[in-house]
């Protein structure tokens, strides 16, 4: 009898864990399935073979070691931009400005990468990344401060700050920081020094490893530190947090600073590990994709990783799909948009797959509106 009791307890505990995992992944998984199904219909209407197209997409993303490395490279900045958006969500903030923060991180990392000389390889890359992260953090602090001291909503201010960041970084890339090497007519900075490059080890980009490490650190901060508890409390109920003696204004600004830091690191890794310089066109959309990543990962740091790999795989495999199946690369953008739509409109997914709604399951897109 005594042997059966622990066994029964362990069985219930295992079922509880499995139910928790299923509640976390059921809606994102259903959203991906629905998006792929509708994407198949679009492919059929356009005259393409969906099976052939998706097979080519998979082959381009995972069909060889080089393809896997390319997928992980595509996923790396998405992990950081996804973490940036997800982290802000925990404090009830909707950081649409990850794109601008990422751009400043990418540009400043490039400047350190080509202008600072005589620094040992590993230290040079770390220094460039740190400066890129600080640039993103400072830019992220602006909407946080505006929200606290003026009441301006972060959705509006971050959208506007994105346009400012795009124009400022474009100006520097085509002006004071432009590559002046003979024959260059493109808006871009000089190439970074070899000592600032982030390499790949055994086909795995070091930047991707840093992304996974960042997810672990953010998870630990949110659930195992006092600061993380205060951030989550402010996100759930800022008035209750204020009544409990928490510094809500400081927490809001700190959250946006950390969020901007993560986005800036993502931009720095894209510059130092993939592009090798700052060139505006290579960073388009990476910050905005962070919204998709965060929502698909249910704003959990560990959920961000597979979500980023999925979207990274779609980006990496789109060229193969275009070449082998004659499908426009933009079809992957359509599928990605459908995934975001179904994750946001989760009631559709729940009704199609008969998924029960659980309490506190993921964020609402309106989180943060009208708060503080």
The whole-number pLDDT of residue 361 equals 44
3-state secondary structure of 205: strand
Mean pLDDT of 44-56: 90
The whole-number pLDDT of residue 230 equals 96
CB atoms closer than 10 angstroms to residue 168: 15
Give the model confidence (pLDDT) of 256-292 as tens digits: 999 999 999 999 999 999 999 999 888 888 999 999 9
For the chain, the C-alpha Rg in angstroms (whole number) is 22
Q: Over 60: is that where the pLDDT of 370 sits?
A: no
Q: Over 60: is that where the pLDDT of 323 sits?
A: yes
Higher pLDDT, 16 or 322: 322
Which residue bears the tokens 């100006």? 171
Give the model confidence (pLDDT) of 145-182 as tens digits: 999 999 999 999 999 999 999 999 999 999 999 999 99
Mean pLDDT of 223-240: 95
**Cα gap 100→165, rounded to integer Å:** 5
Mean pLDDT of the chain: 89
Mean pLDDT of 25-43: 90
Query: Please, what are the domains in the chain?
Result: 16-353 (1.10.3470)
Give the model confidence (pLDDT) of 200-224 as tens digits: 999 899 999 999 999 999 999 999 9
Higher pLDDT, 109 or 281: 109
The whole-number pLDDT of residue 358 equals 58
- The pair phi, psi for residue 205, each rounded to 5°, is -60, 135
- 204 strand-pairing partners: 201
Largest CA distance in the chain: 84
Residue 5 pLDDT class (50, 70, 90 cuts): low
The whole-number pLDDT of residue 6 equals 62
3-state secondary structure of 355: coil
Mean pLDDT of 232-251: 94
The whole-number pLDDT of residue 300 equals 93
Nearest to 255 by CA among 237, 216, 229, 289: 229
CA distances to 95, 147, 192, 241, 270 from 370, in Å? 15, 11, 44, 16, 35
The whole-number pLDDT of residue 23 equals 75
Q: Over 70: is that where the pLDDT of 249 sits?
A: yes
The whole-number pLDDT of residue 319 equals 87
Q: Over 70: is that where the pLDDT of 360 sits?
A: no
The whole-number pLDDT of residue 241 equals 93
- The answer to whether the CB of 316 falls within 8 A of the CB of 58 is no
- 205 strand-pairing partners: 200
The whole-number pLDDT of residue 369 equals 41
């Amino acid at each position: 009898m005594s042997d059966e009791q622990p066994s029964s307890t362990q069985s219930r505990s295992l079922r509880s864990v499995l139910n928790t995992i299923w509640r976390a992944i059921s809606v994102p998984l259903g959203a991906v399935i629905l998006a792929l199904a509708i994407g198949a219909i679009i492919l059929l209407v356009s005259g393409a073979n969906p099976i052939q197209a998706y097979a080519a997409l998979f082959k381009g993303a995972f069909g060889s070691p080089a393809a896997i490395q390319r997928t992980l490279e595509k996923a790396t900045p998405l992990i950081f931009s996804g973490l940036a958006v997800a982290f802000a969500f925990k404090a009830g903030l909707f950081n649409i400005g990850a794109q601008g923060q990422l751009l400043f991180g990418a540009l400043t990392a490039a400047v350190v990468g080509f202008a600072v000389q005589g620094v040992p390889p590993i230290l040079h890359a770390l220094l460039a990344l740190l400066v890129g992260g600080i640039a993103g953090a400072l830019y992220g602090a602006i909407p946080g401060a505006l929200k606290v001291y003026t009441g301006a909503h972060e959705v509006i201010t971050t959208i506007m700050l994105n346009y400012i960041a795009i124009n400022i970084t474009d100006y520097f890339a085509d002006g004071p920081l432009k590559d002046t090497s003979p024959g260059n007519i493109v808006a871009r900075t000089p190439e970074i020094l070899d000592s600032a490059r982030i390499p790949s080890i055994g086909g795995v980009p070091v930047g991707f490893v840093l992304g996974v490490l960042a997810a672990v650190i953010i998870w630990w901060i949110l659930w195992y530190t006092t600061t993380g508890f205060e951030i989550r409390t402010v996100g759930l109920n800022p008035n209750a947090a204020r009544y409990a003696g928490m510094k809500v204004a400081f927490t809001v600004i700190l959250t946006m600073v950390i969020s901007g830091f993560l986005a800036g690191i993502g931009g720095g890794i894209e510059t130092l590990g993939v592009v090798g310089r700052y060139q505006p066109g290579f960073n388009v959309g990476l910050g905005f994709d962070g919204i998709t990543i965060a929502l698909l990962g249910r704003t959990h740091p560990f959920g961000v990783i597979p979500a980023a790999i999925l979207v990274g795989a779609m980006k990496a495999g789109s060229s193969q799909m275009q070449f082998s199946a004659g499908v426009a690369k933009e079809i992957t953008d359509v599928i990605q948009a459908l995934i975001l739509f179904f994750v946001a409109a989760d009631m559709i997914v729940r009704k199609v797959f008969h998924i029960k709604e659980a309490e506190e399951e993921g964020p609402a897109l309106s989180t943060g509106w009208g708060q503080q």
